Amino acid sequence: GMGHYTGGLIGKNITKNQINIINKNYSLGEVLSEGDYSGGLIGYNEGDGITENFSESNVTSQGNHTGGLIGGNNGEILNCYAKGSVTGQKNAGGLIGTTYQKIINCYSAGYIKGENNYTGGLIGVVKDNALIEYCYYDKNSSGQFDTSKGIPKTTVEMKQKYTFISHWNFENIWNIDEGESYPYIRWQSQ
């Protein structure tokens, strides 16, 4: 995209005071942006209920707030992942560039390139003390090692159910091919 708000699926998702569940969507391919708020799936999100989505898109932006799944996030995110590489400026993260809301049971595994102090393996910058719970990123593939906004794990650990099992639902939502794959969402294989 040429302007702001570029996403592989949705540029800007704004839902004030209404229920808008974006679930079971995915994005593959390339997202290229010259502006701010770029994400593999959504450029800028203000909707709650982003669940069971994933992106394998590589996201490249000349602007700020760049994420493998979502560029700028102001809604709750649950059971999502991103595996594409992320190249941005300030606020670049494997899953989300900038978040104002809580992120639960998510991971990312792509290579991340951004401005040093504003870059993270999972999330570039966390605002408003948003909770990041039971979230992980691959410290080998990402080239990042921050610990306060997503837990860094080795590629080997990221392909073991043991890493996630205490709080992730592998009965209905997640699956993993032990030692072979990162976790994936069950509906993908249906």
Q: 123 forms bridges with which residues in the sheet?
A: 96
For 58-78, what is each residue's pLDDT tens digit? 999 999 999 999 999 999 999
So what's the pLDDT on residue 98? 98
Domain assignment of residue 53, given as a range: 6-14+21-189
β-sheet bridge partners, residue 97: none
CA 66/CA 93 separation, integer angstroms: 7
The whole-number pLDDT of residue 3 equals 63
In a domain, 31, yes or no: yes
pLDDT digits (tens, 9 = 90+) for 106-130: 999 999 999 988 999 999 999 999 9
Residue 48 lies in a domain: yes
- The 3-class secondary structure across 64-75, one letter per residue, is CCEECCEEEECC
**Most confidently modeled of 11-15, 53-57, 99-103?**
99-103
Q: Is residue 166 part of a domain?
A: yes
DSSP β-bridge partners for residue 120: 93
Express as a percent the part of the chain with pLDDT over 70: 89
Residue 1 lies in a domain: no
Q: What confidence score (pLDDT) does residue 79 get?
A: 95
Q: Write the pLDDT tens digit of every residue in 82-107.
A: 999 999 999 999 999 999 999 999 99
93 assigned to some structural domain: yes
Q: Does the residue 90 lie in any domain?
A: yes
Backbone angles phi, psi at 158, to 5 degrees: -70, -15
Number of domains in the chain: 1
Q: Please list, in sequence order, all residues whose beta carbon lies within 8 angstroms of the beta carbon of residue 110, skipping any fewer than 6 positions away.
A: 58, 68, 82, 83, 84, 85, 86, 94, 141, 142
